[in-house]
């Protein structure tokens, strides 16, 4: 079936427009006058409407988004009362759920992020409730969950994890890091494969409705590839998806073979399945809002701290070199300028020691970049992956980050203009479900450096604004 679109405004590449498009079975056959002179089974008059290629999301967590959508929708809620109300409503509507599991709540709305189990008891006290925070390193539970897990004042913090406590030593309801989180989460009913497939189908449908036809899952841990493979085989995966295996300090060595096996299984799928597994994710540091991003100059609210690098330089280089040699694209989370420098150093070392190939390394978030490091993106061929919806003075930048790093550094976040002018390649990702996945909500934000509803009027560090064509490209 050949379809001819006429009288449109058809975006073909950077700033290039034509009026007509001839397509057959999802493939573009011709543009402009060539399209108009072709034969078609049907002709659609666009009456001036705008047409552009579908969007690709360069950094997101669609399976996590789908999972979250199956529980209480606490994402983005800005008060404890709102979260508790949502949990209560969800629990009442789901009388058969033995556990109420959901996420991801914004930890910053409570001082030090210590949430109290009693607050959740107001919503549900006869069944366990388990919510995870946006950082995926923290959970908040009700008393029933603490009781089932047998966690009391007498319970010691497990190695590598912490149990937040009240003044009397009793557990408060917030647990940090997997070692502590697992004390409770291991008791929760396992998600069924059907739950996981439904989550992927739901995320796919959301994407398609927003014009997104391909995405990167930027956090693939054990068990997730198997789920995606099943989703691709059964038609639950409806967009093209590239998987990014998670590499973690120490653990990565034991994952090299497993990831190779998973890749082989993905590569054995037919191309139409739309699934690839070509990338590996490193998390270089934390977040500026939590004071855990690794920065070159100390935090203002804690002059003894420059945040935390998660990897040693040597181990990041060793792991990156190993995975690059295996043909995986590097995708490094680096938010502070010290983490960005470490990531660039690692990529530089990889390029120096491994044979050259079309490696297209990515540094994602790149919120602060030291002026000395900025030209290195272009020089090393590193793609800067930004989240367009983060590039305005939102409450996080204003209330959590500004007091920690001061006005000057706060305003130096997201130097999109400078990165483009340096000749480096830019890409965009939503980081869904952390932020909205809809490109049409996000794309104007880096152009005006204003919120989607155009606040504040003068924008934010407007000298870093880019054009709408650059944003769409």
Helix (H) or strand (E) segment spanning residue 440: helix 439-442
106, 100, 98, 81: which is closest to 435 by C-alpha? 106
How far apart CA 4 and CA 301 sit, in angstroms, is 61
Piece of 30-38, 139-147, 377-385, 425-433 that binds Zn ion (CB under 5 A): 425-433
Q: Which residue is nearest to Zn ion (CB)?
A: 431
* The one among 99, 106, 431, 435 contacting Zn ion by CB under 5 A: 431
- CB atoms closer than 10 angstroms to residue 42: 9
* Identity of the residue, 145 or 283, whose beta carbon is nearer to Zn ion in the bound complex: 283
Show the binding pattern over residues 190-229: x = contacts Zn ion (CB under 5 A), - = does not: ----------------------------x-----------
CB of 59 to Zn ion, least distance (A): 6
* Identity of the residue, 57 or 324, whose beta carbon is nearer to Zn ion in the bound complex: 57
How far apart CA 317 and CA 343 sit, in angstroms, is 9
174, 169, 64: which is closest to 119 by C-alpha? 174
Structure tokens at 415: 């130097």
CB of 429 to Zn ion, least distance (A): 7
Told to check if 337 binds Zn ion by CB under 5 A, we report no
* Identity of the residue, 183 or 241, whose beta carbon is nearer to Zn ion in the bound complex: 241
* Identity of the residue, 287 or 350, whose beta carbon is nearer to Zn ion in the bound complex: 287
Structure tokens at 383: 């793609």
* Identity of the residue, 94 or 214, whose beta carbon is nearer to Zn ion in the bound complex: 214
Contact 113, 107 (CB under 8 A): yes
CB of 432 to Zn ion, least distance (A): 9
How far apart CA 296 and CA 194 sit, in angstroms, is 46
CB of 387 to Zn ion, least distance (A): 8
Q: How many residues bind Zn ion (CB under 5 A)?
A: 2
How far apart CA 391 and CA 438 sit, in angstroms, is 15
What phi and psi values does residue 147 have, to the nearest 5 degrees?
-65, -45
Contact 310, 283 (CB under 8 A): yes
* Identity of the residue, 283 or 351, whose beta carbon is nearer to Zn ion in the bound complex: 283
Structure tokens at 426: 């830019």
What SS3 state is found at 141?
Answer: strand
* Identity of the residue, 99 or 432, whose beta carbon is nearer to Zn ion in the bound complex: 432
Q: Which residues of 100-118 are buried (b: 16+ CB within 10 A; e: fewer)?
A: bbbbbbbbbebeebbbbbe
Contact 196, 70 (CB under 8 A): no
* Identity of the residue, 114 or 436, whose beta carbon is nearer to Zn ion in the bound complex: 436
CB of 61 to Zn ion, least distance (A): 6
Piece of 194-202, 291-299, 430-438, 440-448 that binds Zn ion (CB under 5 A): 430-438
* Identity of the residue, 60 or 146, whose beta carbon is nearer to Zn ion in the bound complex: 60
CB of 118 to Zn ion, least distance (A): 32
CB of 60 to Zn ion, least distance (A): 7
CB of 367 to Zn ion, least distance (A): 13
H-only helix segments in 326-401: 337-353, 374-380, 395
Count of CA atoms in the C-beta half-sphere (13 A) of 460: 29
CB of 434 to Zn ion, least distance (A): 6
CB of 215 to Zn ion, least distance (A): 12
Show the binding pattern over residues 377-416: x = contacts Zn ion (CB under 5 A), - = does not: ----------------------------------------
* Identity of the residue, 57 or 431, whose beta carbon is nearer to Zn ion in the bound complex: 431
How far apart CA 451 and CA 376 sit, in angstroms, is 30
How far apart CA 373 and CA 46 sit, in angstroms, is 46
- CB atoms closer than 10 angstroms to residue 208: 13
> Which residues here bind Zn ion, judged by CB under 5 A?
218, 431
């Amino acid at each position: 079936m050949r379809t001819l679109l006429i009288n449109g405004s058809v975006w073909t590449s950077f700033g290039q427009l034509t009026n007509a498009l001839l397509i057959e079975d999802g493939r573009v056959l011709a543009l402009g006058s060539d399209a108009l002179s072709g034969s078609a089974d049907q002709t659609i008059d666009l009456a001036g409407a705008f047409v552009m290629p579908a969007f690709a999301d360069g950094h997101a967590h669609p399976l996590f988004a789908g999972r979250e959508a199956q529980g209480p929708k606490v994402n983005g809620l800005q008060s404890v009362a709102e979260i508790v109300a949502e949990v209560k409503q969800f629990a009442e509507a789901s009388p058969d759920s033995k556990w109420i599991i959901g996420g991801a709540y914004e930890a910053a709305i409570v001082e030090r992020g210590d949430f109290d189990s009693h607050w959740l008891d107001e919503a549900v006290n006869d069944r366990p409730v388990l919510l995870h925070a946006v950082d995926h390193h923290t959970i908040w539970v009700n008393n029933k969950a603490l009781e089932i897990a047998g966690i009391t004042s007498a319970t010691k913090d497990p190695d590598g994890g912490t149990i937040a406590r009240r003044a009397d030593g009793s557990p408060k309801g917030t647990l940090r890091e997997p070692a502590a989180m697992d004390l409770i989460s291991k008791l929760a009913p396992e998600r069924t494969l059907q739950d996981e497939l439904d989550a992927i189908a739901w995320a796919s449908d959301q994407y398609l409705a927003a014009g997104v036809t391909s995405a990167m899952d930027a956090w693939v841990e054990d068990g997730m590839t198997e789920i995606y493979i099943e989703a691709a085989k059964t038609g639950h995966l409806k967009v093209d998806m590239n998987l990014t295996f998670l590499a973690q300090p120490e653990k990565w060595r034991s994952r090299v073979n497993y990831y190779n096996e998973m890749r082989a299984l993905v590569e054995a799928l037919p191309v139409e399945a739309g699934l690839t597994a070509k990338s590996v994710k490193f998390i270089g540091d934390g977040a500026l809002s939590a004071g855990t991003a690794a920065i070159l100059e100390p935090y203002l609210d804690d002059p003894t701290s420059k945040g935390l690098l998660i990897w040693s330089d040597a181990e990041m280089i060793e792991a990156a070199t190993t995975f690059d040699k295996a043909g995986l694209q590097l995708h490094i989370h680096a938010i502070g300028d010290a983490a960005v420098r470490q990531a660039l150093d690692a990529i530089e070392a990889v390029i120096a020691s491994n044979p050259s190939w079309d490696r297209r390394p990515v540094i994602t978030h790149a919120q602060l970049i030291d002026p000395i490091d900025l030209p290195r993106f272009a020089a090393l061929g590193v793609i800067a992956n930004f989240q367009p919806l983060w590039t305005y003075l939102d409450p996080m930048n204003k209330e959590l980050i500004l007091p920690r790093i001061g006005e000057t550094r706060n305003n130096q976040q997201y130097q999109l203009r400078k990165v483009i002018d340096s000749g480096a390649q830019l890409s965009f990702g939503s980081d869904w479900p952390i932020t909205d996945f809809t490109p049409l909500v996000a794309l104007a934000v880096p152009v005006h450096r204003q919120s989607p509803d155009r606040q504040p009027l003068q924008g934010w560090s407007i000298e870093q604004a880019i054009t709408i064509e650059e944003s769409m490209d």
